[in-house]
Amino acid sequence: MAAEQIREPTVDLLRLDGHLYGPGTGADAPRGSAPLHVDAAAWAAVLAIDQARPGIFNIAETNGAISTDKARRELGWDPGFRLASRGLHAAAGADTAAPKGTG
Tell me, yes or no, whether 1 lies in a domain.
no
Asked if the model's pLDDT at residue 23 lies above 70, the reply is: yes
Where in the sequence is the domain holding 53, given as residue range(s)?
Answer: 18-86
> Going by C-beta distance under 8 Å and a sequence separation of 6 or more, which residues neighbour residue 14?
44, 45, 48, 57, 59
Tell me, yes or no, whether 94 lies in a domain.
no
The torsion angle over the Cα atoms of residues 88, 94, 96 and 98, rounded to 10 degrees, is 70
Asked if the model's pLDDT at residue 9 lies above 80, the reply is: no
The pTM is what?
Answer: 0.69
Tell me, yes or no, whether 8 lies in a domain.
no
**In this predicted model, what pLDDT tens digit does every residue of 51-101 receive, in sequence order?**
877 788 888 888 887 889 999 999 999 999 998 765 654 443 444 444 444
Asked if the model's pLDDT at residue 30 lies above 80, the reply is: yes
d(CA 53, CA 44): 11
Tell me, yes or no, whether 67 lies in a domain.
yes
Tell me, yes or no, whether 71 lies in a domain.
yes
Q: Assign 39 to helix, strand or coil.
A: helix
- The number of folded domains in the chain is 1
Task: Work out the percent of the chain whose per-residue pLDDT is above 90.
Answer: 27
